[in-house]
Structure 1
Amino acid sequence: MSNLLQLQSDEFETYTQLPALIQTPQGYYPCEQQIERSEIQNLKREFEYQLNSRSAFQYGLCPVRSEIHRELFDELVREVYLDQAETGAVLARVRDEAHMTVCNYQTLYETTLDQVQNMIGTAEENIVEMRQKMDSLIDENRELKHELMLANAQLEQMDQNSKYLQQVAEKRITEDKQYLNKQIEQLQHSVEALRQHFKENPEILQLLDVKKE
């Protein structure tokens, strides 16, 4: 076991940091003995129990789930490292690269989330402003409709007054025309009566001529 610890220390200088061996009262883990199927099933049940007992989220970003998977991956690295040190070191590097990629994606997610929240905040402010503007336009539209209704009422009243005045004027013209026609007719009768009278009494015309001389 001391050779294993020394080999791990040497690989740390050459490749990358490997998960430390876990020391328990029963010894160091992992051991070099081949694991049995029952132990794998127990490990699976323990893995699922840890996920459930620590309330790990099944989807999305979950630090608890990430930590449990990291511990499981570290155990796999230890198992591989016991058989093939170089393969274990490469697998550890793959683990580190995967962890770095996840961290980058998490940073990108958080940055994007902040931007989205800022956009949502700006959109909410714009929505409030647009609602206020919409309410103002609704009030203005209501006032314009009221003014239009008053204008239509005034226009209708003016139209009625105009028709009434036109009817009064037409009636007066008709009455004046009838009156003038009646006067003309009376004058014509008077002239005709005078002419007939002069015709029947020619001496009147002679007297008028004498008076003129």
Structure 2
Amino acid sequence: MLQGLGENCRARPLKGTPPPPAPTGPVPPPPRTATAAESAKQPQEILNAILPPREWEEENRLWVQEVSSVPSTRLDVVHLQEQLDLRLQQRQARETGICPVRRELYSQCFDELIRETTINCAERGLLLLRVRDEIQMTIAAYQTLYESSVAFGMRKALQAEQGKSDMEKRIAELEEEKRELEKQVSEEKAKCEAIEKRETERRQIEEKKHSEEVQFLKRTNQQLKAQLESIIAPNK
């Protein structure tokens, strides 16, 4: 943290360590019932509830480090601000946009402000704790929404890419079908032109033959007419 973890560390046996032997002397009387004032939480207990102590194992002992319950002065707040600016610069936190480093440092700074406020007024510290938890919950909700929207966008992009591939494949198939149809059309046109040419030639031959037959019949008719006239003329 930026500030606030005090040096009040204490060690206690690890779990599983045999308990100390029971006293052999007379059993002490049960503790008296605490009054309402005595049962109220002390500032250190509230601080431990807000900012849980750190625990680690060392030399077969469990060490616990609690946040300091020493009130902060105006100079400490100024130093906290200087430390925040220094850490932001050292860790190269971005000034705008989403930055996990900046968020982490400001979260630590806010925890320290909650600690300092709780020492002076426990109720105000608990209220700030509610504000902190609400902010964290809101940020978590936005993060979940962002991740789900990114996943949704990726799915849509993959679907669009897959649809694009299918569409490109379909376009290629249609273009191939179009080329085949154009080839068939060309072949049919060639066949039609050949048939038309053949029929034109046949018609021309038929017309020429018909014309020759007509001319032959005309000449024959003329000859027969002339012969008939020559036969009829002497009789007159």
Higher alpha-carbon deviation: 90-99 or 121-130: 121-130
CA contact (8 A) 1:8 1:18 kept: no
1:146-161 correspondence runs (5 A): 146-161=183-198
Q: Which has the larger radius of gyration?
A: 1
Is structure 2 residue 228 aligned with structure 1 residue 196? no
Is structure 2 residue 43 aligned with structure 1 residue 7? yes
Q: Give the C-alpha shift of residue 187 in structure 1.
A: 0.8
Is structure 2 residue 19 aligned with structure 1 residue 19? no
Aligned equivalent of 2:121, options 56, 61, 84: 84
* Identical columns (%): 28
Aligned equivalent of 1:105, options 124, 142, 160: 142
The separation in 2 between residues aligned to 1:157 and 1:29, in whole angstroms, is: 108
In 2 relative to 1, CA 31–10 (structure 1 residues): closer, same or farther, beyond 3 Å?
Answer: closer
1:51-200 correspondence runs (5 A): 51-52=91-92, 58-60=96-98, 62-199=99-236
Q: Give the C-alpha shift of residue 42 in structure 1.
A: 2.3
The separation in 1 between residues aligned to 2:69 and 2:205, in whole angstroms, is: 119
The separation in 2 between residues aligned to 1:38 and 1:108, in whole angstroms, is: 37
- Partner of 1:109, secondary structure, is helix
Q: What's the C-alpha RMSD, in Å, of the aligned pairs? A: 3.2
Higher strand share: 2
CA contact (8 A) 2:43 2:119 kept: no
- Partner of 2:75, secondary structure, is coil
TM-score by length of 1: 0.72
Q: Give the C-alpha shift of residue 127 in structure 1.
A: 2.1
Aligned equivalent of 1:39, options 75, 79, 83: 79
Q: Tell me which amino acid in the other structure corresponds to 2:136.
A: H
Higher relative contact order (CA 8 A, sep 6+): 2
Q: Tell me which amino acid in the other structure corresponds to 2:168.
A: R
TM-score by length of 2: 0.66
Q: Give the C-alpha shift of residue 85 in structure 1.
A: 2.6
- Partner of 2:73, secondary structure, is coil
Q: Give the C-alpha shift of residue 30 in structure 1.
A: 6.9
Structure 2: gaps of 5 or more residues: 1-5, 9-40, 55-66
Q: Give the C-alpha shift of residue 145 in structure 1.
A: 0.8
Q: Tell me which amino acid in the other structure corresponds to 2:102.
A: R
Deviations 1:122-160 (A, max 9, x none): 322222222222211111111111111111111112122
The separation in 2 between residues aligned to 1:69 and 1:18, in whole angstroms, is: 17
